Amino acid sequence: AQSVTQLDSHVSVSEGTPVLLRCNYSSSYSPSLFWYVQHPNKGLQLLLKYTSAATLVKGINGFEAEFKKSETSFHLTKPSAHMSDAAEYFCVVTLSGSARQLTFGSGTQLTVLP
């Protein structure tokens, strides 16, 4: 069965500094991997997805993530944090092309300090 582990429950960065949110996954099959963001009192918004094409995936708002099969990782990065990036981020895995059940990580709360 697939699973996903977000290594940090809280990350705090200063505005203008890089963001790194870590995610490791476990899957018996070729996974699809996603990052979703949830702003306060808002729904889940898709940031980016990996589905076995390019290993470096670019998403919205300047975020990107790199799929590393050897490390079973899919870390989310952004070169320069903005105050509006403060939110909860979820790493998500599903079986590529078959099951439609998303398995969510426990989430990382990102705080951006002025």
Partner 1 sequence: EPEVTQTPSHQVTQMGQEVILRCVPISNHLYFYWYRQILGQKVEFLVSFYNNEISEKSEIFDDQFSVERPDGSNFTLKIRSTKLEDSAMYFCASSELGDHSTIYFGEGSWLTVV
- Shorter beta-carbon distance to partner 1: residue 53 or 114: 53
Q: Which is nearer to partner 1, 17 or 84 (CB)?
A: 84
The reply to whether 74 sits near partner 1 by the rule CB under 8 A is no
Query: Cα 39–71–95 angle (5° rounding)?
Result: 65
If one asks whether residue 103 binds partner 1 (CB under 8 A), the answer comes out as yes
C-beta of 93: minimal distance to partner 1 in Å? 11
Query: Cα separation of 27 and 30, whole Å?
Result: 7
CA 85 to chain centre: 13
Pair of tokens at residue 29 = 């099959």
Q: Which of 49, 72, 86, 109 binds partner 1 (CB under 8 A)?
A: 49
Quick check: 55 binds partner 1 (CB under 8 A)? Answer: no
Does 101 sit near partner 1 (CB under 8 A)? yes
Q: In angstroms, what CA-CA distances link 79 with 18, 56, 59, 85?
A: 4, 14, 13, 12
Task: Give the shortest CB-2-to-partner 1 separation in angstroms.
Answer: 12
57 in Cβ contact with 48 (< 8 Å): yes
* Binding-site ranges for partner 1 (CB under 8 A): 32, 34, 36, 41-46, 49, 51, 90, 94, 96-97, 99-107
